[in-house]
Amino acid sequence: MFVLTTLAEPQDFQLWDEVDLTASWRNVDLLVPLLARTDTRLPNPQLAATGITADFPLPWHLTLTGGYLFADLPQLSDKVHLPLIALSKAFHVGSFAAADRNRFEKLIGYPTSPVRYRNRLMVDRSFGVHDGWHLFADDEIFFNLSRSRWNQNRFQAGGGARLNRRLFLDGYYLQRNPSGGAPTTRVLGTTLRVILTPK
């Protein structure tokens, strides 16, 4: 859901594990993420986070998202409160589903409490019986509005499968390239999505 810079030391792979609890109420889609991030070389955990977001459908294939996240970075003794708002546009390119998301967030409790803008372009391709499998890739750039400069880029690619009518499991590789000469972060991640109110 979001990225916070952890300890700025040379790193091997990090492991990002996430469980997403999803539900629908009327036309609103709710998400409660549970995240844990660990490093293969550094003290752990690097990050633990949760919160809630709500997606509101709009005309013209637009989605408005609002939410709040809380992150604990025990190795830095930081506890971060993160209110956010985002607007996404969904569209198709041939057999690929795509979405362009524009997100604004404030990291309250992080040093200088920066305000950030994030733009993510994602493509997704489903296949198999009843679209039970999919492949995806996305690229996201981060702009620190408090300092008026781009400060990182994230690229990820992966795939996943529907395990049953309530469970979806994704695995992915992510690479984070920060600005200013900070080391690149390489990540292996998993996301288990649990649908509490299947349609």
Decide if 108 is inside a domain.
yes
Looking at the structure of the chain, the number of domains it has is 1
The CATH number assigned to the domain holding 45 equals: 2.40.160.40
- In-domain check, residue 1: no
Domain containing residue 71: 13-195
Q: What is the pLDDT at residue 12?
A: 66
Residue 6 lies in a domain: no
Token pair of 194 as six digits: 């649990």
What are 53's two structure tokens?
Answer: 């977001």
Entry pTM: 0.89
Block residue for tokens 């390239």: 177
The residue ranges of the chain whose pLDDT is under 70 are 1-12, 199
Q: Is residue 185 part of a domain?
A: yes
Q: Is residue 2 part of a domain?
A: no
Residue 180 forms part of a structural domain:
yes
Q: Is residue 136 part of a domain?
A: yes
Other C-beta atoms closer than 10 Å to the C-beta of 71 total 22
5 occurs within a structural domain: no
